[in-house]
Amino acid sequence: MKGKKGPLLFFIAPFGLLFAAFYLAPIGYAIKQSLYKIERQGTFGKAQEVFGGLEQYTRVFSDGPFWESIGRVLLFGIVQVPVMLGVALALALLLDSGLVKGKAFFRLAFFVPYAVPGVVAAIMWGFLYSPNLSPFTALTGNVDLLSADFVLWSMANVVTWIYVGYNMLIIYSSLLAIPQEVYEAARMDGAGALRTAWAIKIPLVMPAIVLTTVFSIIGTLQLLAEPAVFRTFSSAVTSTYTPNLTVYSTSSIPNFNLAAAFSVVLALATCLLSFGFLKLTQRGADK
């Protein structure tokens, strides 16, 4: 260890300081802010920030629209994440199966949407869904994809479109890392392509699937760009449609203390869900 303290500090301190300033400090600050409230002396008195204890949290927990929005993104996630990852896994297995020609082209074609920012993708699909602008009039003429019944699933399609290729690549690269001997053994046992995929490939890429699931859960709870953009296209998307939209609209009232409490609850819920999912899959793997 002698003589390495200096270099060690040099390597770790820059990231460490920024991490403390722009990750840890905001978390601490949000928690502190959420424990305060604004009080006025009389109707026209000066506003003053005073300690409010858990008052903001009582408001959060009795805030109907906020919990509705949590329910909405959970429903969204329960449907969209498995569909997206199922498609990604299927495409990765097909790419890896040796049955497909032009692998390099498909890999690139599927990945292109990942290069499109969420805001831009949402604007583009918003046009594609709009009855009077869409090229798919046969569909949009009959079903209003931007109506209250459909708009959540229309957004799910946007998110799926962006991220299938990205998730497919993660799964595909871990398929590539499986040693060839494993397949030879399967072939000797007379396993066909489907059986090899089901009994060998999928279990071996499970860590990659778990990782992509965790990222997808985090992403779902954070939904913001898509619903924010869709507010222009559809009146069904309210200012509290997703938890993050609620945070944003609460902070532009402005009620920073309540918005901070929303943020804290949302971050906790996200950590709990993704951590819980990790633990659940680990326990499954131990059996």
Partner 1 sequence: MKNVNRIGPMVVMAAATLYFLVPIWWLLVAASKSRAQFNNTTPLWFADFSLGDNLSELFAYRDGVFLRWMLNSVLYTGGAALIGTVLAAMCGYALAKYRFPGREAIFNIVLSGVLVPATALALPLFLIFSQFEATNTFWSVFLPSLVNPFGVYLARIYATASVPDELLEASRLDGSGEVRTFFTISAKLMFPALVTIFLFHFVAVWNNFLLPLIMLGNERLFPVTLGLYSWNTQVNQIPELRMFVLTGALVSIVPLVIAFLFLQRFWRNGLGSGAIK
Residues 141-200 close enough to bind partner 1 by CB under 8 A: 161, 164-166, 169-174, 176-177
Fill in the per-residue mask, 112 to 131: x = in contact with partner 1 (CB under 8 A), - = not in contact: xxxxxxxxx--xxxxxx---
Question: At closest approach, how far in Å is the CB of 80 from partner 1?
Answer: 15
Shorter beta-carbon distance to partner 1: residue 134 or 238: 134
DSSP calls for 70-84:
HHHHHHHHHHHHHHH
Candidates 238, 239, 251, 281: give the one binding partner 1 (CB under 8 A): 251
Answer for the pair 22, 7: CB distance below 8 angstroms, yes or no.
Answer: no
CB 248 within 8 A of CB 266: no
Q: Contacting partner 1 (CB under 8 A), which of 50, 99, 138, 188?
A: 99
Write out the two tokens for 62: 């009795």
Q: Which of 139, 122, 149 is nearest to 230 (CA)?
A: 122
The tally of CA atoms less than 13 A away on the side-chain side of residue 252 is 7
Question: Looking up tokens 């858990």, which residue turns up?
Answer: 54
Pick 170 or 202: Cβ nearer partner 1: 170
The first and second tokens of residue 53, run together, are 């204890």
Number of residues that bind partner 1 (CB under 8 A): 96
Asked if 232 is part of the footprint of partner 1 (rule: CB under 8 A), the reply reads: yes
Stretch 38-77 residues interacting with partner 1 (CB under 8 A): none
Q: How far is CA 48 from CA 34, 37, 227, in A?
A: 15, 8, 34
Longest CA pairwise span in the chain (Å): 85
Task: Quote the least distance from Cβ 270 to partner 1, whole Å.
Answer: 5
State the Cα–Cα distance between residues 147 and 220, nearest whole angstrom: 21
Nearer to partner 1, 129 or 152 (CB): 129
Please give the Cα distance from 19 to 14 (Å, whole number): 9
Return the residues of window 3-42 that contact partner 1 according to CB under 8 A.
4, 7-8, 10-12, 14-16, 18-19, 21-27, 29-30, 33
Is-contact 258 234, C-beta < 8 A? Answer: no
Rg, Å, the chain Cα set: 24
Candidates 59-67, 76-84, 146-154, 210-218: pick the segment binding partner 1 (CB under 8 A): 210-218
- Cβ–Cβ contacts within 10 Å for residue 221, how many? 22
Cα dihedral sign for 175, 181, 185, 188? Answer: positive
Task: State which residue, 57 or 161, has the beta carbon closest to partner 1.
Answer: 161
The window from 35-43, 67-75, 105-113, 145-153 that contacts partner 1 (CB under 8 A) reads 105-113
Instruction: Give the binding range for partner 1 (CB under 8 A) out of 39-47, 62-70, 140-148, 240-248.
Output: 240-248
Tokens of 242: 């997703």
* From 48-56, 59-67, 110-118, 179-187, span contacting partner 1 (CB under 8 A): 110-118
| Per-residue tokens: 100 | 């497909």
Of 39-47, 140-148, 183-191, 212-220, which part binds partner 1 (CB under 8 A)? 212-220
User: Would you say 15 or 44 has its CB closer to partner 1?
Assistant: 15
CB of 274 to partner 1, least distance (A): 6
Give the one residue of 111, 131, 144, 281 binding partner 1; rule: CB under 8 A.
Answer: 111
